[in-house]
Structure 1
Amino acid sequence: MDQLATMRAFRRVVETGSFTAAAAELNQSHTIVSRQVRQLELQLGAQLLNRTTRRFALTEAGQEYYERCRHIIDQVDDAAHAVSAHQARPSGQLRINAPMAFGTLELAQWLPSFIIANPQLKVDLVCDDRLVDLIEEGFDVALRLTHALPDSTLVAKRLAASDMLLVASPDYLQRHGIPQTPADLAQHNCLTYTLAQKPGEFHFRAADGTVHSATVRGNLQANTGIALRSAALAGLGIAASGSFIVHEDLRRGDLVQVLPDFTLRPRELYVLYPQNRHLSPKVRAFVDFAVEWYSTPRWA
């Protein structure tokens, strides 16, 4: 006797409320389904159904067996689906949301490689510093750079950390001097990010663990880090920027780190996606690719 087949037959009988309906769903005859349930009762040595000519009812033993039977079948089906999904080729449209600066400067570097590796995918990338609702707006996956994620039903996987750095051009520092402490920033033109929780405040931790705060002012604020980077490169002032934005400028010497002994709180990079019972191949492929890409530090 095929134990799993008889368990499936029993479950369908219970859930459809009819041997005939269960037989139709299973593409079997009424006789075969009835025989499977009877064989199951004989094997278990317990009556699972109280039968009459027109209806049946679960016995106490039948109710307990049904609950366990349903759980076992679900687990078997989940395992089979997981393997099938893993083997399936990602296809269809993948809608991705990312912050403007990250999508433009960072994601754009490796997204083409991901698409080449998954030729059956069509990618729709939307770069937006607004906090979108993935489910309501129909996104499959999102990348977030943040200090802390809000509570939600989304699955979040951490990929990397991006240090926040104070930067300025050598020309600006030559003209206005180099700050030695966070308090010195009050005498400088500071370029701020509009969407920060408190755009006019910087909070630092010194090497000895002490915490320092500075209230800053400047003649430019923007809702994208790209504009702040461009302004800093032009010698306009001092900007707080993610390392993923300015690491190449620092390497070339076009920008210089300011107050290197005082650290700003880093931002964590996450990939987020809706919590589904079965992760689709296209989302799984994107998440796996991103995890592999950021398995080594990118912005030293």
Structure 2
Amino acid sequence: MKTEDIALFHRIVETGSLVEAADILNLPKSTLSRRLQALEDELNVKLFHRQSRAMTLTASGSHFYDKTTPMLATLEQTLSELSGQEAQVAGHLRILIFPIPEILHITHAIFEFMDLNPELTVEIIVSSEPKDMIRNNIDLAFMLEDAFNENEMVARHIIDETVHFFASPEYLERAGKPLTPEELPAHNSILFRYPNGRIFNEVPFGKEKTLSVTGNLCVNSLGTCLEATLMGRGISMMPLPIAQEYVENGKLVMLFEDVEPYEGKCFLVYPSRRFISLASQRFIDHMMLALETCIQNGACDRQAKTKGAIKPLI
């Protein structure tokens, strides 16, 4: 019995469809079907109820999935221990990155990991759209807090990001500039929807206060949020690196400059109910070290100038 066939069986379970699993794995459907049939013949059990558009597990299939999940994880760990940390890894990683300011540092570190492991192939998906990591066969993701279900994920904190309120001069001329937190809820806010479906309308003000805001526009992209703010659609809350250039050239105004900014957190996450591959294990170790080194040597530190003041972001 090949462990690769068991891993393919897991992908079919997680996508719920032979066609979707074949597309994600970039394999012909006929190849996947043949290997699944060979696994069933070897086990002498039927693993799936086959339907026209979906496949559901039989009782035997469900039992086999539950039992083989920790077995695959143990095997990957054993291979890691036997091969040593210097051994190259192979396979394929699908990595989801939320469009955060540090995306270039993250992608550079990914490229370094690929150079260290030339047998590895990588797919990078940049998106703020909701994506089921299990169903979409995503191995790892860089996501903001509150953007994922903590009960379904293992999360490693990697980056802090200061977040500020911004508006265009045109909006402030039309609606007035809020000077106190009590004034903010009366303004039109540009709302943000996280990948998990939650709308970010209970916003932190400083370190200890939370305000309820409303608005007539909701987006799920920082780029769209920035464009809407520049066009005077309302007040937004964004990481300073996103808006820094426009604050410097006068196209945006940072509000409540004297209030200590809220610190958003970014996490490296992966599904808790799925075995983690050797490539993923090595990648996590590499990323944690790369980002820690990047911050320590100053390469990840960004200094934003707002009205002459220098404010460190990390």
Structure-2-length-normalised TM-score: 0.56
Q: Amino acid of the residue matched to residue 257 of structure 1?
A: M
The residue number in structure 1 matching 2:134 is: 135
Q: Partners of 1:271 and 1:191 in 2: how far apart?
A: 27
How does 1:166-185 map onto structure 2 within 5 Å? 166-185=165-184
Alignment match, 1:216? 214
Alignment CA distance shift 1:187-1:136 (3 Å)? closer
Distance 1:156 1:187, change over 3 A: closer
Aligned partner letter, 1:169: S
CA contact (8 A) 1:271 1:287 kept: no
Structure having the higher Rg? 1
Note closer, same or farther for the CA distance 1:181–1:291 as it changes in structure 2 (3 Å cut).
farther
Q: Secondary structure of 1:111's partner?
A: helix
Whole-angstrom CA distance in 2 between matches of 1:78 and 1:117? 19
Partner of 2:286: 288
Counterpart among 266, 280, 290 of residue 263 in structure 2: 266
Q: 2:288 & 2:242 partners in 1: Cα distance?
A: 18
Q: Which residue of 2 aligns with 1:111?
A: 107
> Residue 135 of structure 1: SS of its match in structure 2?
coil
From the superposition, tell whether residues 264 and 150 of structure 1 become closer, same or farther in structure 2 (CA, over 3 Å): farther
> Which runs of 5 or more residues in structure 1 are unaligned?
1-74
Aligned partner letter, 1:292: A
Of 222, 233, 236, 1:239 maps to 236
Cα shift readout 1:173-209 (whole Å, capped 9, x = no counterpart): 3454321012222443321113474544434246xx5
Determine which structure has the larger helix proportion and give its number.
1
Match of 1:92 in 2: 91
On the 8 A contact 1:182/1:212 being kept in 2, the answer is no
Q: Find the residue that maps to 2:85 and give its secondary structure.
A: helix
- CA RMSD in angstroms, aligned pairs only: 3.5
Distance 1:283 1:95, change over 3 A: farther
2:51 maps to which residue? none
**What SS does the aligned partner of 1:155 have?**
strand
Asked whether the equivalents of residues 165 and 254 of structure 2 are also in contact (C-alpha less than 8 Å), the reply is: yes
- How far off is 1:143 after superposition? 1.0
Task: Write the distance in 1 (CA, Å) between the matches of 2:250 and 2:292.
Answer: 25
Shift of 1:106: 3.5
| Alpha-carbon distance between aligned partners in 2 of 1:164 and 1:281, rounded to the nearest angstrom | 33
Report the Cα distance in structure 2 between the residues aligned to 1:170 and 1:229, rounded to whole angstroms: 14
Percent of aligned positions that are identical: 22
User: Which stretch of structure 1 is more off in the superposition, 230-239 or 284-293?
Assistant: 284-293
Contact 1:155 1:274 in 2 (8 A): yes
The CA deviation at 1:272 is: 1.4
**Contiguous gaps of at least 5 residues in structure 2:** 1-73, 303-312
